[in-house]
Structures are given as C-alpha cells and as structure tokens.
Structure 1
C-alpha cells in the first residue's frame, strides 16, 4: 500500500455530508473580492482544481462548465473570501493548569477540535502565533482531520521572566540546574537568553517547519512576571532572530505593547507588530514609514477573562483602554497595513464567538475596512513568509488564480456585520481549497 500526503478525494463536510473536490460554480452571487469597498451585482464564480478558475457577470451556467460541477444558486447571497485569523493559538485553548497537567497528545486532540471550530466559523486560514501546531497542520493538510490552513510559528520565543516564561516559581533557575516547564517541553514556548541561544532557537524552529518566527518583546496580559511597560530582549537578540529568519527568507513577528519595545523591534527589522495597544504617535509613524504591519485584536480584551489574579485583570484593562488611542492614531495617520486576529487563549467558549470581532471593530472601522482586514489585508501579511509560505498562491481574495477558499453568507456583512455572529445559520456554504465543507443549500 502506497502512502500519500495529498488530500483525499472525498472528506466529511460540516454537517455530516461528504463532498468531492470537483468543480463548483456559484451563480447569482454578490461578490466581495477582499479588496473593494462594495459587493458586485449578480456574478458567476467557477472553482476548479482548488483555485478560482473564472469570474463572470450574471447567473447563468456557461456551456464550458464541467458537466459534473456542483452548481450552487447563491440567490443574491454574499460571496466572500474565507476569513483569516492572523493571530491564533489553536493548541493553547486548555486552561494553563490543564495544559500543565496533561501531555502533548491531549493538547493535540484538543487542538484538532478547535481547528474544526475555526473552520465552522468561516476561518479557512490561520496564522498560529504560538503553539506546537506542526503535526496538526500536517494532519489537516493530509485530510486526516478538518481545519483551516495553518501558518505555524511554533513556540513563542521568550526571554527569562518574559511573556513566554511560565516556569513555576518553585522551580530553581536553569542557572542552578532548574528544568524547563511543561509548556516548553511540549514545544508551545521556548525561553532563551543571549544571541547564541536566540540563533539556535530560531534555526531549530524554522527547521521544524515554521513559516515565520514569533518573539515576545514586551510584557503580556496573561503572564504574571512582566508588566506591559517593560521591554524584552536586547536589540542584538532581536536582530539575531531577524537575521536568522532572513537567511531562511522569512520574517519575525513580535508580541509587544509599549513604544519602547515596538521601536526596538521595528529598528531591528521585524515585519509585524502584534498588539501595539500602548503605541504613541511617533512610534506608529515609524511603523508606517518602515512598512511594518499592525496585527491588533479586540475581542480578547473586551471579553474580560474570569478567575484571573487582580494584577492580570489590571493589565487586561490597561490594554483594552489603549485600543481607542491605537485605532484613532491609525485612522489619523492613514495607517492601512492593519490585520485581523483574535489572540484567544484558554477560552474555547470565547473562541466559539470569534466572529464577534467583526462587530467590536465597528467602533473604529467601517464594515468594508474590517472585511478587508480579515481577508485581503491578512493575505498580504501572510505572504511575507515568501518561500516558507506553505500554501503558495493568493489568499484572502476572490480573483482568477487565487486559492479557492470562499464563504457564501446569508446576509450582507458590509451592511450588517452581526450576521457573521450566527455562523450556524448564516454561513450557508464553506469552501476551502476547492472542497465544500458545508452546504446548507443543497447536496
């Protein structure tokens, strides 16, 4: 029996149906292409061989469409690119206590269930910014389980007492013979200090299959030891990570909240800034002038986590209050390289409501801007991985030649984004890689 890494010809679809990877023709769809401010009139979109094959006006079936194609009458519904979460943690949904007292097999099974959840919410791609997702990605790509495309970062790389250091306080320092904590042993986090360790870590993670590198360069909301105002890693350490990633023709993304850490990261050559809630005008202008992407999140701060230590709740409040300044500065300076992500950790119930992010952002952005952030913008951001991109081709857009990840939505999210918060009812069709995973309109 020969083995194969390719996706099977058929696989279970959402709702328990089975769909082959045959041609699919949507007729009568109002198309949001991932770049525009509005939808089209009635349009045909043909999908074949995992790509957008053709786009045309009207609702009729052209004569050159394959005879066995699945024809879906959109009936005026909205066709959009599949959503992209640019800041996901699909393997980190168990509570920290649960994760620390279970093994990697449990984490993998949990992560697989979360991957299915992502796809059911319309996310056909995620950039995982911390967690041991390498095997989960392979399983999804091979058709062993359902889930989105994954751009893996592997473990978050942190300094000692940084955002990714969850070593128990009772554990002695590694300087005197202490051991790495379970989250590091399982490949979700990695603590390093100094340029040699940084180089070794980045090269190891890239060798495992990371499409980009994730560093923690400031304090974080979910970590106890590091206030949001502190800067983590020296310029030399960050620069070493950037150089090692550049040698692999990819880039570094950085968790960072405060202006000092953002400036240090940007000046070292990182390409995406995750969070940036406490940015100031001068630092945001530096990001804009340097061509750096802003990858912010809203829901994770709006949904105040329960059961947290008061010091952690204080940090979540500080980060939430910074959102107004961040987005007002972005609008004022004309900053357009803005992505869309969630950063939801240890909260599967919150992750199930991930599409509330589309509604939360309407405080600062128009629905069209938000949809572009979740589709075309994020597609451009993920393309920074260059040759390390595991899915070559255009993502986040509906155009000839693009990868065939599309959603048919009952309603118009450009008029009312809240239709996305009821995905069971309003995501009528979900297509990933040309394969129909959900179809409420027929076979």
Structure 2
C-alpha cells in the first residue's frame, strides 16, 4: 500500500500510488536504481525496482503490438518430424503461433502476408549451454573492465547471438539477470535467457579465479570481486551451498549450476578432481527442488558424474570423460546429458599449461562420449559453451554441425530445437517464458527462423547464418527480414 501526500491522503492499493504521485515515484525509482547501479548491484543481482513491482516494466520503451503475420509457400520442419510438410499456412498473432493449417484460408484484416518462396520454416535454435556475459570478451577484459562496459559488450554479443538464429539460450554461469531483463523489456536485442546466475563452486574449484594474493579467505569471510559481480560464488559447506543457491533463485534463476569438478578454463584445476561432497551437492539440489526447479552439475569424470546422480541432480553438464557403466547409470535414472562437440583448438582457441592439457582430454573424450550417448539413448542436449572470444562465439552454428560425425541432420535439428525445449521445461514454475519452445505448432511461442534452403538436406546452412537465414522472429517480432512482402 502506498500513502500519498497529506493533502491527498487516500491510500491506494498496489504500488503505483495515485495519478498525481506516479511521476514522483518513477523519478525516485530511477534515482535509486542509478545509485544501485553505481555500486554494481543491478549488474550483479539484476533485481530492479521494476521486477519488484514499484514501476511498470520499461513503460516508455514498450513497442506497439505487431499486426498478425501470415507465412505461406514454405517447407516446414516443426522441430520433431523427419518429414517436412508443405502446403501450409502459419498465422502468428502476438507472441504465439495462432494457427498452422493446410491450404490457403486467407489472412486476418491488417495482417502482413510473407511469401517464403519455398524456403524452410523451423523453430528458432536453442543453445543449452551458453554464457551470455562471458562469450564475447577476453578473460583480461572480464577481470579488469568496468561492469558497465562488460554488460554493454555482452549486449552486443547477445544481438549477434540472436542473428545467428539462436532465439533462446540457457545461461550456465554469469551475471546475466540485468541483461535478460533489458532484452525482455525491449531495451536490448538478444535471445531469451534462462539464467542460473553465478555458478556455485568450492575453494579451488572450476570458476575460482581469485588471485592467490586474496588468500587466505577467512571461513565464511566476505565475498571477493568475482562473487560480488555474480560471476561465481564459492561455498565450502552444505549450509553455504544452500545460501548461495537461494540467493540465485531470489534474483530470478531458472535453474542452478553447481560445479562438481575441474574445468578447462580454470588453469588451476584438472579434470580428474572433485569439488563438492555428495552431501553438499544434495543440499543444493534440495534448495532448488524447494523452489520447484533443478540443478545441473558441471562434471567430466565418472566419479563426479556418479556423485551428481547420487545427490539427485537432473542434468550433467559436459561428461566428456564418461565411461560405459556411468552412461548406463545415467540412462537408468533418466538424467539429462547437456554436452558440447569440442573437436580441436578451433573450438576453444589456443590454450596453454593445464588448460591445454584439460582441453586435449575433452577433445579425446568427445569421440567416445557421443557414441555412448547414442548407444544408451541418453537424453542429450546440444550446447556450444563458447567462451572469451567474439570470434569463437560466431562459430555457434559450426559447433552444431560438428554433430554430423554422429547424427543425421534431422536428429541434430531436433536436438537444437524440441529436445532442448524439453530440457528448458525442467525449470517448471521458474520458467521465465511460459509456453512451448523448440516446436512449430499452435500455441507455441512464435520463435521462428526461415532458412534459404533445406537444412534437413544440408545442415551446413546453419554455419552461415548471415547468408542462409532470410528471416528471424522471436516472440512474434521480426529481427531480420530479407524476404519482404
């Protein structure tokens, strides 16, 4: 309840006050947000006053609703079927697919009709392991630049991500909350973001990039710079894990990432090591489950994967050192595998020292991981996990086509659309975008790409999005249009 000035002392229900006081409230909110931003809280937490209900969501920035759009004369890959369909009419109204019907049934008044001239319509691509903040900037910039510059650079990369045809990403670590909100409010262009916030690790675990001069840190001591900006959180007990998980959920995390072992990009770790105990992992799983969402555990070797399964995690990230017995256990429990087809240094950039040794293990493991996943019919999601280079980030589509080594084009396209959409749905009520993703069907969210050619016949078209993607739509809004009409 808000009480106005004494001369208009009638209380009003809600948060916006009476009409005469709304401008004052908005002005005060802007001043408060500006102050928070200077302290780094908005970038790190992403919990703006708008999200708390004090002001409308970017009221001055709202775009007027788009008129209905009708697509005709196209070949359809709907995200599931191996057989493309033709002779259909697809109607988009607002942010949803309103109709998908055979024949020409006309168009609503005021609708725009787009003749695709035989091109392929398919769901927008989904990257199940992306780092919105870290994808396009070098580590040196991320460790030294002002957080404002980092978020602006990430916004530019987010738009490029969208223009590569990836209309949704599952963010697996980093302070992406504020950028997600800006994209959702129309202040920036980019994909839908399913954020996890800071990845939660242990002292000395993957993601602990503190300078050694910061040691020793008192047990339960104050957070360091990486923690304050939301890049990673360090927890060394079950209670600390619960706290850090709840903090990410408070900020709007749709899922949680716990680090179960070493990682390629953390040069003081090796892939054989373990971090959290089973009890600590279980504490995180329980805290996420209490909010009706799930935990994904970063894990490479069998021991780390098995510990994650024992703790109740629903998704394993990476898994490149998996053995057959562990693959069978994953199949028996129905746990998801979210992994990446890293083949060589072209996918990671030049690395040195322990990071290079770690990467070489991953490259070798890729060659055995996917055959195991196929043999045991693991629920396998596609992600790219490209880091610290805009040049590498531009290879998102190339990473997808690496899967030709093991899968047919239709299976690759399913993985990057409807299968990844099923993984996103594990967020349950924490899903920030209720509605079906990764499919073209009635009532699904209108995230579509129009491909100049047939990706079911030539999957490499997705390596060249600038030339091959004639139209990109997210939520019923067109962000690239080379068709006209």
TM range (shorter): over 0.9
Match of 1:294 in 2: 337
Structure 2 matches for 1:306-321, cutoff 5 A?
Answer: 306-321=349-364
1:46/1:54 contact within 8 Å kept: yes
The structural deviation recorded for 1:185 is 2.1
The structural deviation recorded for 1:252 is 0.2
1:80/1:408 contact within 8 Å kept: yes
Structure 2 matches for 1:295-374, cutoff 5 A?
Answer: 295-299=338-342, 301=344, 303-335=346-378, 337-374=379-416
Query: Normalised by the size of structure 1, how large is the TM-score?
Result: 0.93
Residue 278 of structure 1 pairs with residue 330 of structure 2: no
Q: Deviations over 1:213-263 (max 9, x none)?
A: 011101111112221011110000000000000000000011111100001
Residue 232 of structure 1 pairs with residue 284 of structure 2: no
Count of matched residue pairs: 431
Match of 1:125 in 2: 168
Match of 1:15 in 2: none
Between the aligned partners of 2:110 and 2:220, the Cα distance in structure 1 is 65
Residue 26 of structure 1 pairs with residue 71 of structure 2: yes
Match of 1:50 in 2: 95
Match of 1:16 in 2: none
Residue 158 of structure 1 pairs with residue 201 of structure 2: yes
Structure 2 alignment gaps of length 5 or more: 1-22, 27-54
Match of 1:112 in 2: 155
- If asked which structure has higher relative contact order (CA below 8 Å, sep 6+), I would say 1
For the residue of structure 2 that corresponds to 1:355, the secondary structure is: helix
Between the aligned partners of 2:220 and 2:435, the Cα distance in structure 1 is 47
Match of 2:186 in 1: 143
Between the aligned partners of 1:6 and 1:391, the Cα distance in structure 2 is 18
Residue 418 of structure 1 pairs with residue 460 of structure 2: yes
Match of 1:96 in 2: 139
Alignment CA distance shift 1:6-1:433 (3 Å): farther
Residue 173 of structure 1 pairs with residue 212 of structure 2: no
The structural deviation recorded for 1:107 is 1.4
1:152/1:212 contact within 8 Å kept: yes
1:27/1:43 contact within 8 Å kept: yes
Between the aligned partners of 2:287 and 2:344, the Cα distance in structure 1 is 33
Query: Normalised by the size of structure 2, how large is the TM-score?
Result: 0.86
Residue 81 of structure 1 pairs with residue 123 of structure 2: yes
Match of 2:437 in 1: 395
Match of 1:68 in 2: 110
Between the aligned partners of 2:62 and 2:151, the Cα distance in structure 1 is 25
Residue 245 of structure 1 pairs with residue 288 of structure 2: yes
2:200/2:258 contact within 8 Å kept: yes
Between the aligned partners of 2:83 and 2:357, the Cα distance in structure 1 is 40
**138-147 or 177-186: bigger deviation:** 177-186
The structural deviation recorded for 1:180 is 4.3
The structural deviation recorded for 1:284 is 1.0
Match of 1:197 in 2: 240
Between the aligned partners of 1:9 and 1:234, the Cα distance in structure 2 is 47
1:245/1:252 contact within 8 Å kept: yes
2:292/2:428 contact within 8 Å kept: yes
The structural deviation recorded for 1:10 is 3.8
Match of 1:433 in 2: 475
Match of 1:40 in 2: 85
Between the aligned partners of 2:174 and 2:86, the Cα distance in structure 1 is 42
For the residue of structure 1 that corresponds to 2:206, the secondary structure is: coil
The structural deviation recorded for 1:377 is 0.4
Q: Deviations over 1:348-372 (max 9, x none)?
A: 1111121002221100111111101
Between the aligned partners of 1:154 and 1:244, the Cα distance in structure 2 is 15
Structure 1 alignment gaps of length 5 or more: 12-19
Q: Deviations over 1:56-94 (max 9, x none)?
A: 224x3x23x322111111111111001111100010132
Alignment CA distance shift 1:322-1:299 (3 Å): closer
How well do the aligned residues superpose, as a CA RMSD in angstroms?
1.8
**Rg larger for:** 2
